[in-house]
Structure 1
Amino acid sequence: MNVGKRTSRRAAGLLELAVGIACVLLVLFIGSFSRVRADLTSEKRYTLTEATQHLVDSLQDVVFVKVYLSGDLPADLQQLSNGMRDLLDEMRVRNPDLLQYEFTDPSASLDEETRNKVYQQLQEDGLQYTSIRTRAKGAQSEVIVWPGAIITYQGKKLSVQLLKSQLRATDAEAANRSLNNLEYEVASAIRKLTTPFRARVAFITGHGELDEFAVKDLTEALSEQYDVTRIRLDGKIDALSSKTDGVTYRINNYEAAIIAKPDSAFSEKDLFILDQFVMNGGRVLWAVDAMDPHLDSLRTHQFSMATPLELGLDNLFFAYGVRFNKNLLLDKLCSPIQVYTRPYGDQPRLETLPFPFQPLVVDSNNHPITANIDPVQLKMVGNIDTIGLDSARSTILLATSRYTRIMRNPVRVSLAVVDMDLGLDRNNSPYQPVSVLTQGVFRSAFAGRMGMADSVLEAIGYRAWSRPTAQVFISDGDAIANTVNRQTGTYYPLGYERMAQAKVYGNREFFVNAMNFLLDDKSLISIRSRAIRLHQLDPHRIEAERTAIQVANVVLPIVIGLLGGAAIYLLRKRRYAHNR
């Protein structure tokens, strides 16, 4: 009887096991034909944005991505490589036929000559290598890696630098920033290769604006996505738009315009041309100073008197919902300058000290334009007031820190502030707006001022109320200017810090994002605004406790398995002993 019961229980157990295995196999079989995926991460790391999904779904031909971040990599770069593979896998799930990729190690060849040829070709293709110093078991070594990819589409190719390294960031922070930007960089490159239409952007000239060399870096960055040119207005009504017979209003020749640090007044004709450009839906990025700090005097005499800069833009700005105030801001959160301080012996001493007239400003509203970018460096900047308009809304993009003081006109600018206790943590006016986005419908700044017959206004295509449009204002013309060495004819990246010998600030990203937003490239903005956090291990603790960690990872699972097996054996023994 007992033998029969034991046999029956054993058969029932085997049947349950067989049914369980069959269910698992059935689920795996069905899963092999299904594309159902679940992203359980808090930041949805493995989920593409809607913009990227649409981009991948709309591919018309094969996109091939060749990634060179492979091989024996440090932990930070290995996570970046894994992130790139995960991203491409997600893209392939959306479109397996037209999205293909390959990972390859440029340093795989044992032959030095072959490796050098590969390196040279990658440099010619636009990729940059990174030299990484690693430390293992007390020994240091240097590894050359190529954290980049080359994307090919219909015979065209584009290089993508995956590692966005900043001098002031640790390796973990640089990898985290690069991981955040992976989807943006890849999607942006694919978009550039696959999009036939390119919006037109015009730098306005003729009022002392920055020359071509001073905005070279931004011009090249924008040229990757748009057709960029320079236009001199000279009072010509057709400079930015044209009038077609039979069409009531003018048609813009450009989708967007940039006004970069003018230093002389705009004529009424030029103001009218810009106003009508806005009225016809044109987007404008204004990087304008309200005060002239007279920097030549500051360099020569260590101080200067900043005075208002009369550009004739006040009425225009008022109509568009902003007011540039005639003041300068001091901010405790600022970038440094090098100045000669108290002599050391008989020699003057050159020191690097924070200069409160050069604020570092950050995202104040969690807006997509300013998400995930470094602080933006400003020089001699004033604040901006927003003016309520019924038909438009304003958004503050950048603001100073809580330790800010407003210096009213006229302002004495002195290098001596680097040695002074300004008390900015006590006597201050915190969070002053320095960049504003306005969106909506605007009334012409010339409405009610024209003094012309209706027939004349109709002939020139005058529009009193704008089409829906948007503008970005920043109260510092220098923010858009890259550093230039006029003697050697070289320029540096926008956001470059001369003392750090590297790009440190987020100026370029801010202006590129602003133009993306103005031109309704919100898909790129939505991708860039994602945030993914790396859970970084402590390298010093890993090195110090290496043996203990290895033992725990190798021995502990075995011990747990043995204890579990022993527990099951004892339970079964007790159970069957009881049944007997």
Structure 2
Amino acid sequence: MKSSAAHIAKPWIFLFGGVLLFVLLGQFLRFRVDLTEEKRFSLHPATEEVLSQVSDPLHVDILLVGNNLPGGMRRLQKSIEETIRTFNAYSPEKITFSYFDPMSIEAGEQEEFILSLTQYGINPTNLSVNQLTGLQTQLIFPGILVSNEEYETGALILKGERGMSPDQILNQSIENLEFELSNAIRKLISPESSAIAMLIGHGEMGSDEGFGMVEALDGEFELFKVPLEQARKPEDLAHFALVFIQGSKESYTEREIYLLDQYVMNGGNLVVLLDGVAVDIENAGGEGTLAMPFESGLDNLLFRYGIRVNKDLIQDLNFGYLPVMGGNFGDQQQMVPLPWPFFINAGRMQAHPITKGLDVVNFRFVSSLDTVMAAGVVKTPLIFSSDYSRILPAPVRVAFSDMEQEPDVKLYGMKNLPLVYLLEGEFTSLYKNRFLPDGFAKADFKEKGRGKVVVIGDGEVFQAQSNLENGAPLALGEDPFSQTTYANRLFLQNLAQYLAEPDGIIASRTRTLQIRPLNKVKVVQQKTYWQTVNVLAPVVILLVFGGIIGAIRKNSYSKKIK
């Protein structure tokens, strides 16, 4: 009897001992194996670096809630949960999550809370849902809030390019979850990082005086207005991670151009927003005005780097609207929005970390860009015009009266004109084999260097517009006339992050997850077959294995009895 009892207990002892051993090992050894083809549950090294710096527990509020959400939104919900769990596995501190519905707040505080969400770019969206009682709409907030004991930040997680199908938008949003969540965490653990110089002294930044950039990048970068004429040597710009030139109205001197050139040669990142022509829109009434070529002094520098801002303007049939005075109603002047092909709503994006998944970016009076030969420089176009564009060489007539005429589609025969270029690689100095400006020593001169240059043929793409009622500047990308928010703000944020740290968390935006939809025809044709297989196959397999095991046991015990 004792031998029989020991024989029966032995496997159970081994089973519970093995389980206990695995539990103990799990307390000391942590590992994950990602068996998915696309490494869906793996993180970019830069994301792992951010998570390694987490020193306090974090909590994520998922705002995407609602009754009877469609399948796509539920898939996005599940993906958010999976991403947070993956982050928690890599983080030294706990990262927890819960669902929170902004509409559950009391009426008195609800409006204030919803307005606070817009600071993070989280705007409510009306979602139509098919229910038994018919088509119903509900308000959803496709975003997340990340907080620790002291601070809170947020991010919009439902993003896509114009023209994408709902499935493509959802898939792209899932692809970008790692970046959105890691970027929010980075803001909490390191609120400010690199310094940015906004050059002044040549009429830059126009009427908003840099408010658009400051509002968009505050909290992530330190921004400084820098008068370039006061710089004495290239080292004066060296500690800036980025230098912005925004729509200068006056020409740069030879000495200032040399400083910019050597800044790039020493590994700097230069962003040039340059108008090819000068437009005085205040004189566009009546017979209109002529937009004349503008000489900034930077043309030779950019040409050496491999790009040219042309003296022209692009018109596009994917246009915005400009309000003009349409007469009086009583004693009040009426503003009438009219189509303005000089205002381009660009929605064609390159699949690049800066622009992937961006919605429409608004350009106002943008000049075309051409590339030229520059050895060692890689030129990447980032944003394009639509399939219906045209180029008007300077001098260009700009008149409000032209809005009264319907555009002739036949004249807009150009497509996909590049509006933004990213230049990377080894640049050659403009001053190679040339005399240096007075006051600079040849010993300190660098004739080659690796840097990055971004060129945009519109000096106002990062300038904020003003509120029509009180004249206060709006957030970058907000249009006071159409009540539309363009992606200019997000474009600037992605651009600054990439230039400051191209291998950082911004690189995770290149992740691609393949959409694998079910074949609806096969679903209908093979529905009964697969239902039968799924129901009967497990039962048959269990019966077969049970029979085999029973036969083996019967045969074994019968031998022992003999």
With the shorter chain as reference, the TM-score category is: 0.7 to 0.9
Q: Does 1:378 align with 2:374?
A: no
* Distance 1:67-1:385 versus aligned 2 partners, 3 A rule: same
| Displacement of 1:357 | 6.2
Return closer, same or farther for 1:278/1:129 CA change in 2, 3 Å cut-off. closer
Q: Does 1:307 align with 2:292?
A: yes
Aligned-residue offset at 1:479: 1.9
**Is 1:436 paired with 2:421?**
yes
Question: What is the alpha-carbon distance in structure 2 between the residues aligned to residue 189 and residue 288 of structure 1?
Answer: 32
Which residue, 451, 465, 476 being the options, matches 2:447? 465
Alignment counterpart, residue 336 of structure 1, candidates 298, 316, 320: 320
What residue is the counterpart of 1:485 in the other structure?
467
The alignment partner of 2:441 has SS state of helix
Where 1:385 maps in the other structure, the secondary structure is strand
Q: By how many angstroms is 1:189 displaced?
A: 1.6
> Which of 69, 89, 94 is the aligned partner of 2:90?
94
Q: CA deviation at 1:93?
A: 1.9
The equivalent residue for 1:182 is 177
Instruction: State the identity as a percent.
Output: 22
In structure 1, C-alpha distance between the alignment counterparts of 2:192 and 2:434, rounded to whole Å? 38
Give the TM-score normalised by structure 1: 0.73
Q: Return the letter of the residue paired with 1:185.
A: E
Counterpart residue number, 2:375? 390
Say if 2:243 is the partner of 1:257: yes
Partner of 2:535: 561
2:540, 2:192 → 1: CA distance?
70
User: One-letter code of the match for 2:155?
Assistant: V
Alignment of 1:22-421 (within 5 A): 33=26, 37=32, 39=34, 43-56=38-51, 58-69=52-63, 72-73=66-67, 74-75=69-70, 76-95=72-91, 97-106=92-101, 113=106, 130=124, 132=126, 134-138=129-133, 143=138, 145-153=140-148, 155-164=150-159, 175-195=170-190, 198-211=193-206, 213=208, 215-233=210-228, 235-238=229-232, 252-298=238-284, 300-301=285-286, 303-332=288-317, 334-337=318-321, 353=339, 355=341, 358=344, 360=346, 362-364=348-350, 366-414=351-399, 415-416=402-403, 419-421=406-408
Q: Alpha carbons of 1:206 and 1:190: their partners in 2 closer, same or farther (altered >3 Å)?
A: same
Query: Amino acid of the residue matched to residue 93 of structure 2?
Result: L
Inter-partner Cα distance in structure 2 for 1:107 and 1:511? 28
TM-score normalised over the length of structure 2: 0.75
- The letter for the 1-side match of 2:273 is A
Aligned 8 A contact 2:313 2:342 in 1? no
Structure 2 CA distance for aligned equivalents of residues 563 and 172 of structure 1? 33
Residues 180-229 of structure 1, C-alpha deviations (whole Å, 9 max, x = no match)? 33221211122222237611101111111124736433322222311012
- Separation of aligned partners in 2, 1:28 and 1:418: 81
The 5-angstrom pairing of residues 400-549 of structure 1 reads 400-414=385-399, 415-416=402-403, 419-424=406-411, 428-439=413-424, 440-445=426-431, 448-450=434-436, 452=438, 456-458=439-441, 462-485=444-467, 487-498=469-480, 500-503=482-485, 505-532=486-513
Partner Cα separation in structure 2 for residue 85 and residue 422 of structure 1: 48
Distance 2:335 2:96 in 1: 55
Cα distance between partner residues in 1 of 2:477 and 2:172: 16
Q: Give the Å deviation of 1:129.
A: 6.8
Q: Alignment RMSD, CA only? A: 4.7
Contact 2:242 2:500 in 1 (8 A): yes
Change (3 A) 1:367 1:159: closer
Cross-structure match for 1:245: none
Any unmatched runs of 5+ in structure 1? 1-14, 243-248, 542-548, 574-580
1:294 is displaced (CA, Å) by: 3.0
CA distance in 1, matches of 2:375, 2:31: 47
